Structure 1
């Protein structure tokens, strides 16, 4: 029976060869003192893993967010904090902000109309 360490070394060498897209694995297998029967079941698995697990580049947004998380820095400003919220929360916050702005504008308009009405009353009384 082959030692565990030589089997691990062989599998590491085979993995490196498959990652380098080498087709001839026989010379690598011959270098190690491991029976062919214990290796045969791993080679197709290594090939399938190589074909299935493809490299993926993270988005710039994810990289920036991860960098901030690892540094422990919080996003600066309200807009930065809002940008990373889910879309539903952003829409809800926008609706609330618009409704608040409309209420403030309405209140200001009502204050202006009552003030001009009071001034008109005062001028008619005098």
Structure 2
């Protein structure tokens, strides 16, 4: 399955804004949050697993469908880089010129747009 970058961003934002620390919900319930309504359960599940493997989210138990309850520091850093909608749109547009882009490269591209906004480049 292909990792949907928009789903990555939307899952991270949902965990940060809607789930919070130690709130209990199931992976299947994640699709009912506003940002995730347009994704099917397989996309969300795959995304959550990959975010956990990347150490962007914590407290995951696949066997009982317990989703993450919080972002890791690494997850917060990545989300802070892609949080701004304008930066995210520019990042997606810039990265659309190649067939695949890793999350690390997306973060680098987003960082360059942030630096431009702050007149640091």
TM-score by length of 2: 0.28
Say which one has the larger Rg: 1
TM-score by length of 1: 0.27
Please identify which structure carries the higher helix content. 1
Of structures 1 and 2, the one with the larger relative CO (CA 8 A, separation 6+) is 2
